[in-house]
Structure 1
């Protein structure tokens, strides 16, 4: 047994004796009826937690009454499915679960804030030696990018494994015989201390409230950064000002083409090296004050002039097509034969209501407007012409829709009539005709109207067209 082990065992025996003395005191105090301050504090915390639990249950009941559920079966657990996404089995919102998860999260987020604090101390040149070490590592990586694959291994060894080993095999503390004799540190021998582990902080402790403070500040920083990015980026990219957004699109397109051609010619290692040194160097207090002074004296007075020049260039050189998009819309004037043998107006409908249409086959009535004035432009469009125009090329739209069983009028009012069908007049039991008496006649899909008076069907229609243009919408920012 070496002297380090002997000293460690002696300290352990001394600490164990102290703990036995401390454990003997509460046994005597328990006999008295007066509670100790620690016991009163624990009872107060227990009452506080119980009160908070009751409040959580009350708030949960209130939210269940206020927040509508998506469906009636929302409380039924979702059965796992191979094709279902991973988040399908996640629980619904619950105030108790939310509170528990927040407490667990806040007890474990301290390591992130510690890393953030150390990173800020390094980047702000709090200890110049550490910042210069970071710049040295960054320089080696820029000069030889293959060293980037070694960086995670080096961080794991130097930042995790070596500190864990030193915690397991600590150096002799000050004031002991080994430290007074000046004996150097030796990692040999059995471990002298327990392994270091990461444990969540206790609730209502100083570290717990410190994490809450840091989390509060991080949420505020994120909200401010989000609002700043939205106020700077969104107005120039959402085409609320089409000229400015078009100029940005032009610059990015030209820059993309330029980088595609010349990217392999640029010294990226040198650029990354200079950018890293410049970015970290600007965090130095002296350089930061110099940059602020330079910005106030030389750049800020010329910002308005530069912005005015850019706005004038955009207004003069970026020419937008002011003519709105136009489309042609159609409507069919539908008329029906009355019992008196006269055509009476029926509807203005978006479909021709031909004999083989779905509405005619199912026996549905046509749908539309009674008058031209009731026909509205499509949503997001407005009329570009004042009046409707009759489509004189009735034969073309009949052929485009492959409409059969109609008679097309190529002159006059351009009506398209239904052909007369004798089967519509037959009622009751009809005998099937003999095959020998039938004559095979050529089947025609439609025929052109003649001057002779022939018997036609009960419906006729003609096509009207009119131009519409897109309605200009006022730009707004949410």
Structure 2
């Protein structure tokens, strides 16, 4: 358990506790085992059992097909399959055409375990890079940090050097170290008691194997160090995520509407200014100053000074600055506007009975006029029988206690371009169907009027249109149809909706 993986990327900055077994190192070498004695057969069996155990642990592979899982793993996998529904790949392919060429395995505990081991054995390169960046920005080696700032300055002054930067990294970080590893220098020769000469030659055949990058072996010290770094990285990500959410969410989710409105105002004005004047700003100098400032803040001396300044100057005046901002927001940001209101409508439908009396039929969202789609298809009107059953739309509530009769029947009839009706301008403002008179020759041209009209020979057809008049005029003419309707209106306003509910539907 104490060996290192050769040529494996791992962060070896500080030691960590690792799992160890009570098996001596001499178990790995058969030649070093003591000769058997008459009284040591039991000890030999224990040593052989320990050796077999260690070999079995080392031979564990990352592939699930080559791994024998215990009964506990299989039972846990079956339990998880019952809890977590298996994805229906056929339905996903039908919904998303791009999934036809992508096959992803469903959740499986052995696959998860094997993938985690393979991932953990190869994640060391990320932790090595993270460690080097932290060392660079924390001024661990001053010459390295100053060299980085010099390169950053050249790139800011001449952004075209960004095209050279990847090639320089390839040369200095990969190719030259690999060549030196293949052609190592000869040991120095001592010419005197105090000096030594070092000669390096690039000629001649390679005398060392080429360096390779290999994943860390399972159950090795590098493997467990990767697990430690992965564990700490997950904790760092969780803390960073929670910190960002705690700082960013309250000002932006409009839980405090004055503060969010102020942020929206400044953001909108800044966007307008940058949209117009962004090409006038010296972006090279700006990025140069930002880079130097961020790197300088990582210096230990500056960090100590910043902590002292924060404790002595910022904290005592923090409450005062917050109160000033709150007072400014309260005086300049006005959020006392009334809630949004809309007008909803309902049509009261009545039907003429065989006895010649009007019967209340239902309340519908459609006027059910003679040329409506439902009437042409022969469908029944849809709605509710009682006024009290009419509910406000989802996300809205009534702002008035009662429904009001629309006295301007002519306007909503003209707005919907309704034809074949008689509009009542007085009284209860009913809009009646018209029973048209036509010749026998017109049945072929107007078959939809056959069920509501009585043919009278010798009279010409009345063109489909709407007319207005009083109820007495309509009854005197004797041309009322079997349906009449009138419009009721009522105001609604938006109501408060919880965060976990669906957004309200807008009325049209």
Once the two structures are TM-superposed, the CA of residue 455 in structure 1 deviates from its matched residue by 4.1
Indicate how the Cα distance of structure 1 residues 275 and 42 shifts in structure 2: closer, same or farther if over 3 A, else same: same
Alignment of 1:240-251 (within 5 A): 240-251=255-266
Once the two structures are TM-superposed, the CA of residue 218 in structure 1 deviates from its matched residue by 1.0
> Are residue 467 (structure 1) and residue 491 (structure 2) matched?
yes
Indicate how the Cα distance of structure 1 residues 372 and 176 shifts in structure 2: closer, same or farther if over 3 A, else same: farther
Indicate how the Cα distance of structure 1 residues 462 and 29 shifts in structure 2: closer, same or farther if over 3 A, else same: farther
Alignment of 1:102-121 (within 5 A): 102-121=116-135
Query: Could you give the per-residue CA deviations for residues 164-203 of structure 1, whole angstroms, max 9, x where no partner exists?
Result: 11111112357999xx984511121111111111111111
Farther-moved stretch of structure 1 (133-142 vs 365-374)? 365-374
Indicate how the Cα distance of structure 1 residues 110 and 173 shifts in structure 2: closer, same or farther if over 3 A, else same: farther
Once the two structures are TM-superposed, the CA of residue 394 in structure 1 deviates from its matched residue by 1.4
3-state SS in 1 of match to 2:171 = helix
- Give the Cα separation in 2 of the matches to 1:44 and 1:267: 61
Which residue is equivalent to 1:38? 51
Farther-moved stretch of structure 1 (416-425 vs 152-161)? 416-425
Query: Could you give the per-residue CA deviations for residues 325-374 of structure 1, whole angstroms, max 9, x where no partner exists?
Result: 11111000111122322111121111112223333334433232333222
Alignment of 1:336-347 (within 5 A): 336-347=351-362
- Checking the alignment, whether the CA contact within 8 Å between 1:78 and 1:89 is kept in structure 2 is no
> Are residue 257 (structure 1) and residue 272 (structure 2) matched?
yes
> Are residue 458 (structure 1) and residue 471 (structure 2) matched?
no
- Give the Cα separation in 1 of the matches to 2:463 and 2:453: 21
Which residue is equivalent to 2:76? 59
- Give the Cα separation in 2 of the matches to 1:169 and 1:75: 57
- Give the Cα separation in 2 of the matches to 1:187 and 1:92: 54
- Give the Cα separation in 1 of the matches to 2:107 and 2:304: 49
> Are residue 68 (structure 1) and residue 85 (structure 2) matched?
yes
- Give the Cα separation in 2 of the matches to 1:173 and 1:416: 110
3-state SS in 2 of match to 1:89 = coil
Indicate how the Cα distance of structure 1 residues 188 and 221 shifts in structure 2: closer, same or farther if over 3 A, else same: same
Which residue is equivalent to 2:392? 377
Which residue is equivalent to 1:5? none
Once the two structures are TM-superposed, the CA of residue 457 in structure 1 deviates from its matched residue by 2.1
Farther-moved stretch of structure 1 (84-93 vs 325-334)? 84-93
- Give the Cα separation in 2 of the matches to 1:198 and 1:463: 80
Which residue is equivalent to 1:25? 31
Indicate how the Cα distance of structure 1 residues 78 and 369 shifts in structure 2: closer, same or farther if over 3 A, else same: closer
Indicate how the Cα distance of structure 1 residues 53 and 412 shifts in structure 2: closer, same or farther if over 3 A, else same: same
Indicate how the Cα distance of structure 1 residues 151 and 29 shifts in structure 2: closer, same or farther if over 3 A, else same: farther
- Give the Cα separation in 1 of the matches to 2:500 and 2:333: 21
- Give the Cα separation in 2 of the matches to 1:470 and 1:211: 55
- Checking the alignment, whether the CA contact within 8 Å between 1:240 and 1:476 is kept in structure 2 is no
Q: Which runs of 5+ in 1 are unaligned?
A: 1-21, 428-432
C-alpha RMSD of matched pairs (Å): 3.5
Query: Could you give the per-residue CA deviations for residues 37-84 of structure 1, whole angstroms, max 9, x where no partner exists?
Result: 43332235669996755433322211222223454xx489969x9x52
Q: Which runs of 5+ in 2 are unaligned?
A: 1-27, 437-448, 502-508
- Checking the alignment, whether the CA contact within 8 Å between 2:117 and 2:218 is kept in structure 1 is yes
Farther-moved stretch of structure 1 (400-409 vs 296-305)? 400-409
Once the two structures are TM-superposed, the CA of residue 124 in structure 1 deviates from its matched residue by 0.9
2:368 corresponds to which of 348, 353, 378: 353
- Give the Cα separation in 1 of the matches to 2:147 and 2:322: 41
Indicate how the Cα distance of structure 1 residues 323 and 298 shifts in structure 2: closer, same or farther if over 3 A, else same: same
- Give the Cα separation in 2 of the matches to 1:425 and 1:367: 21
Which residue is equivalent to 2:224? 209
- Checking the alignment, whether the CA contact within 8 Å between 1:240 and 1:475 is kept in structure 2 is no
- Give the Cα separation in 2 of the matches to 1:219 and 1:353: 63
TM superposition score normalised by structure 1? 0.82
2:165 corresponds to which of 129, 148, 151: 151
- Give the Cα separation in 1 of the matches to 2:489 and 2:387: 12
- Checking the alignment, whether the CA contact within 8 Å between 2:452 and 2:481 is kept in structure 1 is no
Indicate how the Cα distance of structure 1 residues 183 and 24 shifts in structure 2: closer, same or farther if over 3 A, else same: farther
Which residue is equivalent to 2:242? 227
Larger helix proportion of the pair: 1
3-state SS in 1 of match to 2:117 = helix
Indicate how the Cα distance of structure 1 residues 108 and 87 shifts in structure 2: closer, same or farther if over 3 A, else same: farther
TM superposition score normalised by structure 2? 0.78
Query: Could you give the per-residue CA deviations for residues 107-157 of structure 1, whole angstroms, max 9, x where no partner exists?
Result: 111001001001111111111111111111112222222222211111111
Once the two structures are TM-superposed, the CA of residue 252 in structure 1 deviates from its matched residue by 1.4
Farther-moved stretch of structure 1 (245-254 vs 308-317)? 245-254
Indicate how the Cα distance of structure 1 residues 368 and 75 shifts in structure 2: closer, same or farther if over 3 A, else same: closer
Once the two structures are TM-superposed, the CA of residue 414 in structure 1 deviates from its matched residue by 1.1
- Give the Cα separation in 2 of the matches to 1:375 and 1:78: 42
- Give the Cα separation in 1 of the matches to 2:90 and 2:407: 63
Aligned length: 441
Query: Could you give the per-residue CA deviations for residues 293-327 of structure 1, whole angstroms, max 9, x where no partner exists?
Result: 11100111111110110011001111125211111
Once the two structures are TM-superposed, the CA of residue 462 in structure 1 deviates from its matched residue by 0.4
Indicate how the Cα distance of structure 1 residues 235 and 24 shifts in structure 2: closer, same or farther if over 3 A, else same: closer
3-state SS in 1 of match to 2:229 = helix
